[in-house]
Structures are given as C-alpha cells and as structure tokens.
Structure 1
C-alpha cells in the first residue's frame, strides 16, 4: 500500500511581510511575453520555467502564497531558467530575488521539495497543458512546479508593484475563470500530501 507524503505547514501569522523596491516585469503584456518566447525559442530552443508552491495554513486550512500583479494577474514565484541552469538552484535564486529582503543572501536557505506538476506550452500561445499534445513534437516551454518547504518563521519582502496573497485551496478549486488552469489545479496536485498543521 502506497504511503501518503507528509509536509508540515506553519501558520500564516508566523511570517513577517515587508516591502522592497519595484521589480520590473520583462514584458508589459501577455502578447509581448509570447513574442519574447518566440524570439528566445529561435535562439535557444525550449524554455524551462520553475515555480515554487509555498503552502501555509490559516484557520486550519491550507493557503498558497502567490503574487498578484496589476490587480488581475496571479502567478507563483519563479521564472524561466537560463540555458543549462540547474532547476533547484535556479528556483532558489528566483525565490530570493522575488521574496527575500533587500541585501539578504539567503537563496541557500530555501528548501525545495517534491516536483508536484509539469505543464507544457505547445505553441506560442497562452494555453499550457499537463501533458504534451500528441501532434506536438517540439513544445515551446516546460514549466515545473515544486513544493517549497517553509521554515517555522521567515521574513519575506515583496516588490512594491506586486501583492503577495495567501489564497485558500477552496478558493482555487475549480476556479479557472479567476486564476487560470494551472493555479486552479493546485488543490488536485496538493491532495496527495498529508499536511501536518504546526
């Protein structure tokens, strides 16, 4: 009989949230992002993106920490890797860039856990799938989601142009209209974990 993976969750109130300088987005729009992807694909081939799924609890229910940009766009912390860059080390660096206080050199402190999901972008379009469609031989992007194991306490700093939200799983579940297919799938991906509330 298979055993269920366990993961400790600490209360949202254990974490201190600060603000740091504006972090500019590379692309002013989705169309610009897809255009950059097409340009990079011509130069380097398939892009690999890594994102961290940070789970805490509030009122006895799991919440996922995610960034909100411009009041409408939600994303997990993470970004595309450079060619040949290690996935785990690359994710640690990007988590520090996005969420660590200014001047801290704490990327080695992030504990990256299990790979919980993989999404594929078959074309230069917004659609991503949790599989490679049968007619696609060269996907344009692979996105990997890793569970991030948080310490009991940590200071986080969020760029001024973004908000860090703790979104409950029940809000994400079956809510692709607001959060998109990838984020609304997180309750399914996380259901294999037995969360231990600390």
Structure 2
C-alpha cells in the first residue's frame, strides 16, 4: 500500500485486515472484564496495528460510536438492532470512528494483510465485505469529509 494512496485518489479509504486472503475484518476485538470501549479499542488497535516496534501502546484518536450490531442466542447473523424476542444479547459489536495521523507506519501480524479500501468499493458490496463493513459508507454519510490539499 502506497503511503500516499489515500491522498493520491482524493477519496476516503477504510483500513481493513484481510485474513488468509479470504475474508475481511475491521481492527478490534473483545473487551476485558471491566474495560471501557475506548480503552479496549486502544489496546486492540495497538496490538493489531502496532505503530511501534517496541510494543508501546499508541494513543489513538477514537471518535464517536458510528453504529452497534447485536447477536442473540446462537444466531450467526448480527442485526443493527436488538431483536424484540432477545432478552439478553449474546454479543454486541460497536463501530467507532478512529482518526489516523497524517502519516503512520503500521506493523501488522504476519497472518494478516492491511488494506486501504476506497469507500466507493466497500459500499453495498455485501458478498465481499459482509453486511457490517459494506454498511460503513452509509454510517459515515452523517459526516462532511473534506480532502484538503496542502
């Protein structure tokens, strides 16, 4: 991935992790007991997208929560709402906006590939990216994104 790929095409990109050249996922993971959303996200991003080789955690600029999805019982699908028949969700996934520094070098685990995918490629592409990732452009529609030439 070129360091100026996002700037070159003047279009916002989404950072995705590709696992074994087969499926895509957003960086993140499970929270530890008692851990806040922001602390857990900082920990997971530092571990999966380590910006330093010495293992020190980077302080990421975590913005607002863009959306939440719920899984109840033993369902495989996640829903962007809590179904009325679910007493207690089995799992809740939250998606946060994270602002990256202007220039950043990432160190990614060997079994993963880091890709910067244009939002226009992700939008409504359920077969490739799944319903959560392909819905991110719609969630971002409430923001005004300005690309500034410096």
> Do structure 1's residue 13 and structure 2's residue 38 form an aligned pair?
no
Partner residue, 1:112: 62
Partner residue, 1:76: 26
Partner residue, 1:44: none
Gaps of 5+ in 2: none
Alignment TM-score, normalising by the size of structure 1? 0.69
Number of residue pairs the alignment of both structures matches: 146
SS in 1 for 2:63: strand
C-alpha deviation, 1:151, in angstroms: 1.4
> Do structure 1's residue 176 and structure 2's residue 126 form an aligned pair?
yes
Partner residue, 2:90: 140
Change in 2 beyond 3 A, CA 1:141/1:174: same
> Do structure 1's residue 124 and structure 2's residue 114 form an aligned pair?
no
C-alpha deviation, 1:157, in angstroms: 0.8
C-alpha deviation, 1:57, in angstroms: 5.0
Partner residue, 2:11: 61
Distance 2:124 2:57 in 1: 35
Structure with greater proportional strand content: 1
SS in 1 for 2:3: helix
- Deviations along 1:143-189, one digit per CA (max 9) or x if unpaired, are 01100011112221111111001111111111111111000100100
* Aligned equivalent of 1:99, options 49, 54, 58: 49
Change in 2 beyond 3 A, CA 1:120/1:131: same
C-alpha deviation, 1:124, in angstroms: 2.1
Gaps of 5+ in 1: 1-11, 16-55
Task: Tell whether the 8 Å contact from 1:14 to 1:154 is kept in structure 2 after alignment.
Answer: no
* Aligned equivalent of 2:116, options 161, 166, 169: 166
Distance 1:64 1:58 in 2: 15
Partner residue, 2:142: 192
Distance 1:57 1:116 in 2: 24
Task: Tell whether the 8 Å contact from 1:14 to 1:152 is kept in structure 2 after alignment.
Answer: no
Distance 1:172 1:58 in 2: 18
